[in-house]
Structure formats: C-alpha cells, structure tokens
Structure 1
Amino acid sequence: MTIISLLLLASLLPHLTFTARVNVGIVNGSEAKPHSRPYMVSVQVKEQHICGGCLISNNYVMTAAHCRNNAPVVTVVLGAHDLKKSENSVRYTVDSYHQHPNYTKGSFVNDILLLKLEKNVQLNDNIKWISIPEEGSIIEAGSVCSVAGWGSLEAKGQKSDHLMETDVKVMNNTECEHKWAKKYFSTSQMMCVHGKGGSCDGDSGGPLVCGNTAVGVTSFGDPARCNSPKQPEVYIKISAYITWIKKITGNII
C-alpha cells in the first residue's frame, strides 16, 4: 500500500507547479454506521485501496482523475464497510475510463473521472447510487455537509480498514481562493470545506455529500497537514460538470 501511494505521488511531482497533498482519509472523525453510506466505493489497484469514489448510476462510478495517474487498471469494491472483510461487498471490473477531456496529468484542474463498470450493479440495502446536483446549482457557504473514506486517521498515518466519516462546513469561495491563490483554485470548478474533522491521505475521489446529494469530488489539500485551516481541502464542484457527465453516461443520471 505504501509503495502504491509513493508511486502515485512520484508520478505527479515532476508536473506540479505547486505542492499539494494528493490522494486526500478522515481525521477527527468517527466510524460510520456499517452500510449507512451505500453509495461509497473503494477504488483499488491489485486489490489495495488507493482512492474513494461514489456510485452515481447502475453502472457508473465517479472519482478523481488523478487517482488513475499511475494506475492504468483499477477495480472497484461496492457494499464495503471493513475492507478486510469481503462479506456484503462486491468487486467490479471497469469496462472503460472517462477522464475529463481538459484534465492534464499532474494538475488538479478538471480533476474528475467516470468509471463505466463492466456490468450493471446489483442494487441492495448495502449498494445504492447517490444523486448528483443540477447543473449550476450552488451550495451556500456555511452549509453543513459530510465526507467519508478509508483514508489515514492522521497525516502520514495508517489508513483505516473501516469507513470513517465527519461533518464539515462549506467555505466561502472567495476566502478559499485567497487561501490557495487564484492560479491553484478555480471558483467556477472547485469548492472548499472546513471543520473539526476532514479529509486525509487515501480519500481522493470520495464524495462531499450535502443532504442526499454528492456535490463534490475530493481532490487536493495541504501537503503537510490533513484538515489544515491554512490550506483547506479542495473539492471538484460536480454541478459544473453535469453536461459532460450526461454526455458520457447517455443522460441516464
């Protein structure tokens, strides 16, 4: 697992124009009630977790584009809570990969990827898709949302086998732009959150959920500290990509 993470980071370093922690787990959170988030997906390489994701239809998973930078072949696990236990979970092969056409390896602009599964998912109490927002919809600053994942419990710490979660608040976009600078943060494509807990290494691609809707894709954060108030976690704003998503999925969303 450590080797995979290092390889992912190494593939990005030559291209980065700034330092950011890629592949961002949950710090200061709590264990989720098993299967209370049936849309959560573990994106894996050689049956090892590398990123999060969410099921958005019967055969499409949404995650971050940079999760595949050094992983040409991934599989996804649905219905999991404890990644060490296979009961209730199902592994699916990816049939095709659809990264945003304007994403560039080593960048976090347009950091969004759709995975078409080889076959339709068998939905049940432990496996369900989550809705995504309407095009152009806005989440007001101060809104209480949540993030979840199997990532590290602290910076450079051990990843969690159990799904963890925490509540967060949406930040004002102007404030986030100020903290990250305009050349790194796009107010039209990105959003930030803050809170007592937040994302850490291993949760890239996982959803930011407001109500019952996935509104963001975990993208990047402070290189040295998880859940940093100085450089908060950044999420790709799903509402900015609805036209592209519907084009790929054939308007089934």
Structure 2
Amino acid sequence: MTITIISLLLLVSLVPNLTFTAHVSIVDGQEAKPHSRPYMVSVQLFGQNICAGFLISDRFVLTAAQCWHHNRKTLTVVVGAHDLRKCQHSKQFRVKCHITHPDFNSKTFENDIMLLKLERKVPLNNKIRPISLPKYGERFKADTLCSVAGWGRLWTDGPVSDRLLEAKTAIVNDAECKLRWGYHYVPSMMICAYGHGGSCNGDGGGPLVCGNTAVGVAVFRDRYLCNSRLLPNVYTKISAYVPWIRSIIGNV
C-alpha cells in the first residue's frame, strides 16, 4: 500500500502544471545592491506591484503580455526603485498604450511578450537606464550563467518583497526543457533556466539577464514550486522577437 501511494505521488509530480508568473518574488534570492539593475521596472495596478518589466528605451518597457491580459485597467510603472515603500530616486509613469504581440496565446503563453509605451520619456541617469537586447536569432548556450530579479513572492504562497531581490540561474538546454515540459515548451520562442533561485509569483514579465543583455521575459513555471529542478522556469526568447520590437520602437 505504501509503495502504491509513493508511486502515485511520483507520477503526479511528473505531470507539467503550467502557471504564469505574474502575481509571482524571487525565490531563494538575495537583496540586490540598490540601483545595480537600473533597467528594472515595477508594473503596478492601483499602486501594487503585479509584474516586473524592464526599460529598453526612454519611452518603452518590455514585459509579458499576460500582465495586461488579466488586468484591463490603467497600469503605471515605477522606474528607478529599489524599496517600493520609498519614493527616493524612483519615478512613476502612466502607460499610454500597450502593444501585445499579435500572436499571444493566453492559454499556452506562446508569444507572451508586450511593449508598454509610456506617456512621457523617462529621464535617464545612472539609476534609471535601459538594458541591451540580443541580436535577432542570437543563441545562448546551455549552462550560461544568468540572473533574474523582481519584487514578487519569497516562495509560492509567501509574502512579497518590498526590496528588489535577485538570484543566479543558468540556461538549460532545449532538449532538457522539452523533455521536462513536453508540448508546453516551444524552443523557437522560449528559453528555460534553473539555478540557485528563480522567478516566483509577482516576477512575471521580468528579464532573464545574461551578461549585460536581457535574453528572456519570465512567463511560466511549476505551479507548486517557484524554482523547480523538475520543471525549470520558462522565459520568452527575446532574440526571436527583435524584428517585432524594432518595428514598434524604432532602432534606438
């Protein structure tokens, strides 16, 4: 009887459970050095962090399409923030319009990427600055060391963090990601990563950063465990969308 129960539990654990990471803080992370990630943006609804995002120019924020799909109200973004309880150095901007990828699928999270155009330009300085994007079609090898950051939950049902947290992670090869996630994982448009920490509830839309480049947008994870070895966190592959991004924001 005991063996049967254990076998059933193992079988259940192997079934992929798709959960988007919006409304997800960094699990197993540590507090970032204040303003060491000047591109980070808190996407907010009624003054509360619902997603992360990142500046790619002085007028545009890149994030996940799911962040708008479930919140059809006026969003604001906060740039230059470290501790969301404090206004020092941070600035709030209203979103003028959102541009969701035309092929976004809210059920499978394919093409889960969105641009937010702000009502006015962001004044750039050493605490507020865009991050570079990869080249179109650029590939990043398995085991490349990367990092994630956000203000989401500390664990799946845990408290949120007012201070920006960060964690180290590494890219997992496509074959492994496909084996783990099955049909949910589409290599041409996704990357997955696993490491010392990972994106959790409230970190959706945040960047997977490798070196000084944003290579992914946090989109989904294991439903029950924010940083799962069995089901690594999945990110939209930005290099597949560079032409679409450039067509909207221009070559800035």
Please indicate, yes or no, whether the TM-score normalized by the shorter chain is above 0.5: yes
The yes-or-no answer on 1:161 pairing with 2:162 is yes
2:207 aligned residue: 207
The answer to whether the aligner puts 1:170 opposite 2:171 as a matched pair is yes
SS of the residue 1:199 aligns to: coil
Residues 22, 223 of structure 1: 8 Å contact kept: no
Q: CA RMSD in A?
A: 1.2
> How far off is 1:163 after superposition?
0.2
Q: Which amino acid aligns with 2:82?
A: H
**SS at 2:184's partner residue?**
coil
Q: CA deviation at 1:18?
A: 5.8
Q: Greater CA deviation, 103-112 or 203-212?
A: 103-112
Q: Deviations over 1:11-69 (max 9, x none)?
A: xxxxxx96424324211111000000000000000111000000001100000000111
| Matched residues, number | 235
Looking at structure 1, the residues matched to 157 and 89 of structure 2 have their Cα atoms a distance apart, in angstroms, of 30
> What is the SS of the residue equivalent to 2:244?
helix
Distance 1:18 1:193, change over 3 A: closer
Q: Which residue pairs with 1:184 in the alignment?
A: 184
Describe the superposition over 1:208-252 as per-residue Cα deviations: whole angstroms up to 9, x where unpaired.
001111010000000011101111100000000011001111232
Percent sequence identity over aligned pairs: 51
Map of 2:194 onto structure 1? 194
Shift, 1:91, TM fit: 0.3
By how many angstroms is 1:197 displaced? 1.1
| Higher mean C-alpha deviation, range 102-111 or range 147-156 | 102-111
The residue type paired with residue 246 of structure 1 is R
Match of 2:21 in 1: 22
Q: Which amino acid aligns with 1:153?
A: L
- Residue 63 of structure 2 aligns to which amino acid in structure 1? T
Normalized against structure 1, the TM-score is what?
A: 0.90
Structure 2, unaligned runs of 5 or more: 1-15
1:147, distance to aligned residue in structure 2 (A):
0.4
Residue number in structure 1 paired with 2:128? 127
If the length of structure 2 is used for normalisation, what is the TM-score? Answer: 0.91
* Greater radius of gyration (CA): 2
Contact 1:167 1:197 in 2 (8 A): yes
**Counterpart residue type for residue 238 of structure 1:** I
Shift of 1:71: 1.4
What is the match of residue 234 of structure 2? 234
Q: Which ranges in structure 1 are unaligned for 5 or more consecutive residues?
A: 1-16
Report if aligned partners of 1:150, 1:203 keep a CA contact under 8 Å in 2.
yes
Following TM superposition, where does structure 1 have runs of at least 4 consecutive aligned residues deviating by more than 6 angstroms? none
Contact 1:66/1:106 (<8 A) preserved:
no
SS in 2 for 1:20: strand
Instruction: Give me the whole-angstrom Cα distance separating, in 2, the residues matched to 1:125 and 1:19.
Output: 38
